[in-house]
A and B are shown apart, each in its own frame.
Chain A
Amino acid sequence: MAMTAFAGAPTQAEPAPRRQSKIALVLLLPGILYLVLFFIVPLVSLVITSLEAPAPDGSGTFQYAFNWQNYVDSVGTYSTQIFRSFLYALLATVFALLFSYPLAYFIGVKVRKWPLLQSFMLILVIAPFFISFLLRTLAWKTILADEGPIVTSLKALSLLGPQTHITGTPVAVVFGLTYNFIPFMCLPLYTTLERLDIRYLEASSDLYGTPASTFWRVTIPLSLPGIVSGTLLTFIPAAGDYVNASQEFLGGASSSMIGNVIQSNFLVQLNYPAAAALSIVLMLVILIIVGSYVRRAGTDDLL
């Protein structure tokens, strides 16, 4: 699984360097060109598009005009959705971490003695990957719907008012984001915890560390690389997601995120400059957050 590798590909000791750099070039060039052409160039054209202005002939097309105003306008108009996206993504990341850590710890450390059970549990963790992302979100929509088992039983217990809903609220959106990205959190956590040397924990308890202080001062620091890549793998896609928040799925009118805005501007209103400007803003904010977070966590070596 990629996440496994993402969590900390073993940094190989001194690769045997060979002098045929021509071979390296031949191996690298096609893939690198592909990424430049279909990843870097699109980002550049996104920047160009974000600076376009409507063509003066009123044909509904856009032309390049170095129109900075697009950024001011779109950020001003959609500041709520931008803020909401990062808030929801943050909440989903925290919940996914709290949910996944005990599970990953159990599979990675406690079940280590039974490799077959370990891989069976791991398969169950990644099982949601293999069923359509949209269908499993729709399944939650039906389960959480007003006629569904959760809402009816909560109402029967008077834990939920008669006029309240779950679907269409921010609660449902954060729930959906959390659920959908739990495997992305769990796998990197598992990879680092699986390699955790139990002798460190034993040493800590030999030195009269309580279980709690052992956990905070030994286990958590040792699993930090997994925490960092898990939170990134959850936070980044969650901030840009628009399926959970869209009204056909778990969201409502008051829970739309920046992804929904980009999608509707690009594909429905055909306001390409606004969509492009918002995409660039999203990308920049994520790069800044990720950069400072990775630096603070002190694990620059993600790849």
Chain B
Amino acid sequence: MSASTPAASPLGSAASASTARAATAPRPAPRRSRGLGNWLLPTYSVLALVFLLIPIVYTIVFSFNKSLKSNISWNGFTFSNWTNVCDQQDVCAAFGTSILIGVTATVIATTLGTMIAIALVRYRFRFRAVTSLLIFLPMATPEVVMGAGLAAQFLSAGVPKGIGTIIIAHSMFCLSFVVVTVKARVASLDPALEEAGRDLYGSPSQVFMRVTFPLLLPGILAAALLSFSLSFDDFIITYFNAGTVQTFPTYIYISATRGIPAQANVIASAVFLIAIAIVVISQIVTQSRAKRLAKVQ
């Protein structure tokens, strides 16, 4: 029995679909309401995604603007901002500082965070709940509080602010995100694989290096990518602990009043395109691997 919905009036179809169903069918009608409901959600979603992309497109477009000191009104198309990025020496220097800080903080946070994630999933110990809470808290604390706290601590300890203090701060807030990301991966790991390694007389370190670590690698890489982008884009905590050092975000914040050179847009656009390329490639690799696995099974 086909309890087909009248397709004649798209507006009334939702209502009539339910009455038709109630009247006739022990086997219910197709659940998705026909007509309006069928394209309302897709249209909304496309528009929502377009809305999310507006400032990104704006930033990329204005990296090609023939601009002088400030980069607010459109003066014509040029490639020269891209070819002469380091004409604005401040922008380039700030970018270099941000890369240095991002890489160092990522290495520290990823190492410490992965160790914690493994311990949390694989071992039973006392103070487990306290440890989880300690890892959760930095993610539930506003950046302004962590920034001011670290700055107050450095102040009372007499530590001069600089690249070192920024790295300390960034490693701290990235650490929790690494733990959470890697932990999900450790939890999904089949312990039987490591057991097999031990059964085959692998020493604990061999088992770790040749079984556990390669299996965890995708999670660790995702965590590292996340740490780097969190560190690279952090402004609030950095501003409290930077002293006179300028990272890319603090440079933009300080220049916002007198106008941001188009070179800043160039760097932001380039970073954006590289990051998106990495994400897209890793998605394609994961999906094709999943397809191959599905075929094998």
Contacts and interface: CB of A to CB of B under 8 A. Distances in A.
A134 B55 CA distance: 11
Nearest to A102: B44
B14 A28 contact: no
Interface stretch (A74-82, A155-163, A238-246): A238-246
Interface stretch (A164-172, A219-227, A272-280): A272-280
Interface string A35-57: 11011111101101100000000
A182 B52 contact: yes
Contacts of A280: 145
Main DSSP-derived SS at the A contact region: helix
A10 B187 contact: yes
B1 interface: no
A201 to B, nearest CB: 7
A283 B123 contact: no
A230 interface: no
Contact of B142 (A24, A105, A236): A236
B177 interface: yes
A128 B56 contact: yes
B127 to A, nearest CB: 9
B33 interface: yes
Interface in A1-31: 1-2, 4-6, 9-12, 15-18, 20-21, 23-25, 27-28, 30-31
Given A2-B177, A5-B183, A24-B123, A115 B22 contact: no
B153 interface: yes
B226 A2 contact: yes
Contacts of B28: 205-206
B138 interface: yes
Contact of A262 (B148, B150, B235, B265): B148
Given A119-B287, A236-B142, A283-B141, A34 B48 contact: no
B277 to A, nearest CB: 10
Given A46-B148, A119-B287, A131 B125 contact: no
A205 B57 CA distance: 42
B180 A2 contact: yes
Interface stretch (B3-11, B77-85, B109-117, B209-217): B109-117
B195 to A, nearest CB: 8
B116 A237 contact: no
Given A2-B180, A133-B233, A237 B55 contact: no
Interface in A154-199: 179, 182-183
Contacts of B112: 30-31, 34
A182 B240 CA distance: 25
Interface range on chain B (Cβ under 8 Å from partner): 35 or more
Contacts of A183: 52
Contacts of A42: 146, 149-150, 152-153
A298 to B, nearest CB: 17
B62 to A, nearest CB: 8
Contact of A133 (B122, B156, B235, B260): B235
Contacts of A40: 134
A87 interface: no
B138 A16 contact: no
Contacts of B155: 272
A45 B153 contact: yes
A128 B56 CA distance: 7
Contacts of A35: 134-135, 138, 172, 175-176
A262 B119 contact: no
Contacts of A303: 132, 135-136, 180
B115 A30 contact: yes
Contacts of B113: 31
Contact of B172 (A23, A39, A142): A39
A253 interface: no
Interface of B: 14, 18, 21-22, 28, 31, 33, 37, 41-42, 44-45, 48-49, 52-56, 58-59, 62, 72, 112-113, 115-116, 118-119, 121-125, 131-132, 134-146, 148-153, 155-156, 168-169, 171-172, 175-177, 179-181, 183-184, 187-188, 191, 222-223, 226, 229, 233, 235-236, 239-240, 248-249, 252-253, 256-257, 260, 264-265, 268-269, 271-272, 275-276, 279-280, 283, 287
28 contacts: A1-B181, A2-B180, A2-B181, A4-B184, A6-B139, A9-B180, A27-B116, A28-B131, A35-B135, A45-B156, A46-B148, A48-B156, A110-B41, A125-B52, A128-B52, A130-B275, A132-B249, A134-B249, A135-B55, A135-B264, A139-B62, A143-B55, A206-B28, A211-B14, A241-B142, A241-B144, A243-B253, A266-B151
Given A45-B152, A262-B144, 13 more contacts: A2-B177, A11-B187, A15-B123, A27-B123, A35-B172, A46-B153, A102-B44, A121-B49, A129-B233, A131-B59, A134-B235, A248-B257, A267-B240
